[in-house]
């Protein structure tokens, strides 16, 4: 995966976490106003009416399992069922915007590379529709995250939608393009081995246009024994660098395990490589 992909994924996860933390804080403020279950039901309804689904769902969840059992338990459970129905109705509405009947072009047209800036307006509209739909999906999941069964179904539906070729080709293209361009830069720098692995990652994001271009280059490079030998060495060195980072973290608390990792690096890496020399130096320090 590209660093950019991880950064964007991490940022999205962080935003979702912060949104839930903020909802919890709002919930606590409301619950401090009263200990009465009926009054809290009203607070939840008020939150729902304001569009604060996160807080409403959290309060209803709390009331549905409150002890000792009381009449509000069943009322809260009924409201949770209503929230679930609302969630699925919203999901269906988003699904409808992604209906294949709305496509005004063929898949082959969608698979074309539009990096020259001449994107067909019909395809540009479809791309915007998809991006908006998945933004809406993510917001929907955030709103109903506190309801496990609902959240699970929503996320499952998102995965199903993402696998549709006419959608995957759009959603996968940014990452595929980043990886393809990274491969191009590696080749320009004379590092065909690194380029190969970047192209391999990009190709896995088919049917995105950049993924398809990357696959063509992978097929060509795999016919060159010299390039493939260098690529295997490159991958081993990458793995050794990961082992080295792990070993460094273990030096203080688990020196025996760190010693094992440094020994593995020495066994796996070329003797003239920097990582090999560094591992030998670290191991010598541990043996003293």
Tokens of 162: 């993402």
pLDDT recorded at residue 71 = 84
- Residue 224 region by backbone torsions, left for phi larger than 0, else alpha for psi between -120 and 50, else beta: beta
The answer to whether the beta carbons of residues 173 and 147 sit under 8 Å apart is no
pLDDT recorded at residue 13 = 66
Give every residue of the chain whose pLDDT is below 70, as ranges.
Answer: 1-13, 27, 29-31, 34, 102, 117, 288
48: nearest Cα among 13, 82, 72: 82
Is the bond into 207 cis (omega within 30 degrees of 0)? yes
pLDDT recorded at residue 131 = 93
The answer to whether the beta carbons of residues 203 and 29 sit under 8 Å apart is no
For residue 183, which phi and psi values (nearest 5 degrees)?
-65, -40
Output the pTM of the full model. Answer: 0.72
pLDDT digits (tens, 9 = 90+) for 225-263: 999 999 999 889 989 999 999 999 999 889 899 999 999
Q: Rounded to an integer, what distance in angstroms lies between the CA atom of residue 233 and that of residue 287?
A: 28
pLDDT recorded at residue 40 = 80
What is the Cα 236 distance to its own chain's centre? 26
Instruction: Answer positive or negative: Cα dihedral of 194, 196, 202, 208.
Output: positive
pLDDT recorded at residue 7 = 42
Tokens of 214: 């990357």
Q: Rounded to an integer, what distance in angstroms lies between the CA atom of residue 113 and that of residue 125?
A: 16
pLDDT recorded at residue 108 = 83
Instruction: Answer positive or negative: Cα dihedral of 85, 87, 90, 94.
Output: negative
Tokens of 99: 């209906």
Instruction: Please state the length of the chain.
Output: 288
């Amino acid at each position: 995966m590209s660093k950019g992909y991880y950064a964007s994924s991490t940022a999205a996860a962080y935003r979702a976490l912060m949104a839930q933390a903020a909802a919890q804080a709002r919930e606590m403020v409301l619950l401090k106003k009263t200990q009465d279950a009926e009054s809290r039901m009203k607070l939840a309804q008020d939150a729902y009416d304001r569009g604060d689904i996160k807080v409403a769902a959290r309060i209803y969840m709390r009331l549905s399992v409150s002890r000792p059992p009381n009449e509000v338990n069943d009322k809260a459970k009924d409201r949770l069922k209503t929230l679930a129905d609302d969630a699925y109705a919203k999901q269906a509405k988003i699904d409808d915007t992604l209906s294949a009947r709305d496509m005004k072009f063929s898949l082959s047209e969608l698979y074309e590379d539009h990096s020259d800036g001449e994107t067909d307006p019909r395809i540009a509209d479809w791309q915007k529709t998809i991006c908006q739909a998945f933004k809406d999906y993510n917001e929907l999941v955030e709103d109903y995250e506190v309801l496990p069964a609902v959240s699970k179904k929503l996320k499952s539906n998102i995965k199903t939608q993402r696998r549709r070729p006419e959608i995957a080709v759009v959603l996968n293209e940014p990452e595929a393009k980043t990886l393809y361009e990274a491969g191009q830069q590696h080749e320009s720098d004379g590092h065909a081995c690194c380029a190969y692995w970047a192209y391999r990652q990009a190709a896995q994001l088919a049917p995105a246009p950049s993924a398809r271009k990357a696959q063509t280059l992978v097929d060509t490079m795999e016919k060159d024994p010299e390039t493939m030998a260098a690529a295997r060495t490159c991958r081993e060195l990458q793995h050794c660098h990961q082992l080295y980072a792990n070993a460094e973290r273990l030096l203080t608390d688990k020196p025996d395990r760190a010693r094992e990792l440094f020994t593995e690096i020495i066994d796996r890496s070329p003797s003239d490589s920097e990582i090999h020399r560094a591992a030998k130096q670290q191991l010598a320090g541990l043996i003293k």
